[in-house]
Amino acid sequence: MSQNQGISKVQDSIKELTKIDPWLEPYAEEIAYRRSIADNWIDKLNKNEGSLLNFANSYKTMGLHIQPDNSIIYKEYAPNAVNASLIGDFNNWNHDSNIMIKDSHGHFSIKIQPNNDGTPKIPHNSRIKIYLTLPNGEKIARLPAYIQRATQPPKEYNNPSYEARFWNPPIKYIFQNKRPKLPKSIKIYEAHIGISTPDPKIGTYNEFTDNILPIIKDLGYNTIQLMSIMEHAYYASFGYQITSFFAISSRFGTPEDLKRLIDTAHGLGLRVLLDVVHSHASKNVEDGLNMFDGTDYCYFHSGGKGIHDQWDSRLFNYGHYETLRFLLSNLKFYLDEYKFDGFRFDGITSMLYTHHGIGSGFSGNYNEYLSPFAPVDKEALAYMMLANDLSSDYSTENNCTITTIAEDVSGYPTLCRPRIHGGVGFDYRLAMSIPDMWIKILKHKSDEEWDMGNISHTLGNRRYREKCVSYCESHDQALVGDKTLAFWLMDAEMYTHMSVLSPLTQVIDRGIQLHKMIRLITQSLGGEAYLNFEGNEFGHPEWLDFPRTGNGESYHYARRQFNLIKDDLLRYKFLYQFDKAMNETEEKFTWLNSEPAYISLKNETDKVIVFERNNKVFLFNFHPTNSYVSYRIGVELSGTYRIILNTDRIKYGGHGTIDESKSVFFTTDLEWNGRKNFIEIYLPARTALVLALEQEINNSNK
């Protein structure tokens, strides 16, 4: 079949895209062409490797692997090198004793026979490197690219570069719990192991397992998104300057510790996603992939095309066979070895465009994305499709559901449409405009200036049939130089008036009420899944700043003060309890992962927003002072409504102005605000309510 015939065949399969969005019709041929690049890779991999999954199994042969007879096979890709040897503690770093053999494809390999007593020649946790000879005679030592353990030398060595370790523990971890099934609504708790302790230090996998998993479960989240897991030499990079892709961060503990964490999470019914960084790599040479075989193009683009100027990092060549082997097998490694349940792909915007999103705004005009001349990196786009194919194939083969989330700020169309329809295949994209909106409002608008129409539009503005993860704030908004929402709302008095023994000031009262309302309207209106960054659920009082030269290497801000929620005299407990109630109510009555809401009211004078989603009615009164008696709102379904969630409850730091035992709302058969019926309700200032039909409430209690 010719390429044109292939594109024509693909065009027939993308009619589902154009049916949902007719504005895509003029770009059908280009969409088909972009899909054909990935499909051609699938054909090639099927022919060469047997299947995409087989290709992604390469991590089982690349790198170092113990054999049943305790011999060790090592294989490495370094096409520019003319000779190679394996060196390490096991051979006293002798360059001539373990010479490797090079094949015609640029792979070096060697088999290390066991000791005479049958034990492995390379001891567990001993240091190793590959020693390469370049065409000009230069000798270089590198950490194996597929190494599964890398650690920092003791400080007294005065060498910050990480060391590769042969990881072969005598006792292998055995998972006890199966992967939990995909929940009906995904509620994500974004977390960083190192900061997950109140103490000014680096937290560990084991501490997270013992101390934080129970909190996440109690809060009602069903998915954890773990950041900074892939090994990174510089802690303050927040895990986004990867040096060893197959090694998990050793500063938090051992591979067995992380396996225990994920296994324990699964036992609690919590799925775990990996924040995967395939958009770029650290420029480190001594302990990274950069200049691995003496060239700048072993895994990356050569020259300026291979440099991300803003991030000061290296950019992968996604059209290169061995780069695809490395990245796709990296994904499967984490699925197989650690039992992750999916991935949040970082930096998708940088991958999508040849300009990497630097200095380029996106107006939403389809030509910016889908024109044949648009600055789209089609090889990177094909890689994303292959990554999603891998996740889908893995799900089928292992009877599970692997979830993929894209971090894209550009709004690329079809990103979250199925591959079979011509889409890129992600399950969700992050709704990145939402936190920006909240920060701008809190920075620049008085309460009286809040625009109900703009808030509603931003929260509801997403591509039809492309699912979004909504969030008020992620780790980005917690970093030093910015402020969390709680800090924007209450920083003037957070250190002096968060005790219940001190008077409730206007600043603290406003902050507590709006903090709850912002979270509820974002979760219920903003997407099909929801994300919270750890600590923000209870209004963590400080930003996040990792130890670095600029702050005297301090850990003071590189921590989360979970001790605050345990102090009954502090008001943080109110925000914690509301976040828990919000998740539990959603779990019981469901509004996420359903059809988008119908917004029936955006009243700028009253500062009221009303919408319905999945037959629940949501009412938000953002007015700072005005409460409304017998406030009339439209509802589609007739019947009797009751309150299922109320931000003004005293246990959530509210004022208890609504007697919920007497709050029963009967519909009147008269059209109002475009709905078939109306009800009248008491709506206090700075209060949000969620109503459900009495019949649904009764059914949920059975």
Q: Is residue 276 part of a domain?
A: no
Tokens of 506: 């206007």
Tokens of 238: 């927040």
* Per-residue CA distances from 326 to 104, 146, 321, 387, 499 (Å): 18, 8, 9, 12, 53
End position of a domain, from candidates 407, 430, 453? 430
Average pLDDT over residues 677-685: 98
Which of these ranges, 125-139, 162-176, 470-484, 504-518, has the smallest mean pLDDT?
470-484
51 pLDDT more than 80: yes
End position of a domain, from candidates 367, 400, 430? 430
Average pLDDT over residues 350-372: 92
> How much is the pLDDT for 3?
55
> How much is the pLDDT for 160?
83
Q: Is residue 168 part of a domain?
A: no
Which of these ranges, 31-45, 63-77, 144-158, 516-530, has the smallest mean pLDDT?
144-158
Confidence of residue 549 (pLDDT cuts 50, 70, 90): confident
> How much is the pLDDT for 363?
87
Q: Are strands 126-133 and 163-166 parallel, antiparallel or unpaired?
A: antiparallel
Average pLDDT over residues 279-293: 97
In contact, 276 and 231? CB cutoff 8 Å: no
678 pLDDT more than 90: yes
Instruction: Quote the CA–CA distance of 594 and 614 in Å, as a whole number.
Output: 6
**Of 334, 327, 333, 340, residue with least CA distance to 403:** 340
Confidence of residue 476 (pLDDT cuts 50, 70, 90): confident
> How much is the pLDDT for 474?
85
> How much is the pLDDT for 368?
94
> How much is the pLDDT for 4?
60
Q: Is residue 420 part of a domain?
A: yes
Q: Is residue 502 part of a domain?
A: no
DSSP collapsed to 3 states, 271-329: EEEEEECCCCECCCCCCCCCCCCCCCCCCECCHHHHEECCCCEECECCCCHHHHHHHHH
Average pLDDT over residues 374-396: 98
Q: 317: how many CB neighbours lie within 10 A of its CB?
A: 21
Tokens of 88: 């390490």
Q: 338: which DSSP letter? A: S
- Identify the CATH number of the domain in which residue 648 sits: 2.60.40.1180
Instruction: Say what the alpha-carbon torsion angle 308, 314, 319, 322 is, to the nearest 10 degrees.
Output: -170
What crossing angle do the helices spanning 506-525 and 452-460 adopt, rounded to 10°? 40
22 pLDDT more than 80: yes
> How much is the pLDDT for 7?
58
By residue range, what is the domain housing residue 691? Answer: 598-700
In contact, 190 and 554? CB cutoff 8 Å: no
Q: Is residue 354 part of a domain?
A: yes
Query: Residue 501 in 3-state DSSP?
Result: coil
The set of catalytic residues is 346, 407
Q: Under 8 Å CB-to-CB from 32, ≥6 apart: which residues? A: 7, 8, 10, 11, 14, 422
Share of residues in the chain with pLDDT > 90 (%): 91
Instruction: Quote the CA–CA distance of 109 and 93 in Å, as a whole number.
Output: 18
Q: 217: how many CB neighbours lie within 10 A of its CB?
A: 16
Confidence of residue 626 (pLDDT cuts 50, 70, 90): very high
Confidence of residue 6 (pLDDT cuts 50, 70, 90): low
5 pLDDT more than 60: no
Average pLDDT over residues 192-200: 96
186 pLDDT more than 70: yes
Average pLDDT over residues 156-167: 88
The distance from CA 694 to its chain's CA centroid, rounded to whole angstroms, is: 37
How many structural domains does the chain have?
A: 2
> How much is the pLDDT for 544?
87
Q: Mean pLDDT across the chain, nearest whole number? A: 95
Count of positions (residues) in the chain: 702
End position of a domain, from candidates 382, 409, 430? 430
> How much is the pLDDT for 483?
83
Average pLDDT over residues 89-102: 97
Q: Is residue 43 part of a domain?
A: yes
The distance from CA 179 to its chain's CA centroid, rounded to whole angstroms, is: 18
Q: Is residue 467 part of a domain?
A: no
Q: Are strands 677-683 and 187-192 parallel, antiparallel or unpaired?
A: unpaired
Tell me the backbone φ, ψ of residue 69, rounded to 5 degrees. -90, 10
Q: Is residue 422 part of a domain?
A: yes
Q: 127: which DSSP letter? A: E
Q: Are strands 664-666 and 640-646 parallel, antiparallel or unpaired?
A: antiparallel
In contact, 303 and 296? CB cutoff 8 Å: yes
> How much is the pLDDT for 475?
86
Tokens of 468: 């979004």
In contact, 226 and 272? CB cutoff 8 Å: yes
Confidence of residue 158 (pLDDT cuts 50, 70, 90): confident
* Per-residue CA distances from 393 to 42, 94, 387, 390 (Å): 12, 44, 10, 5
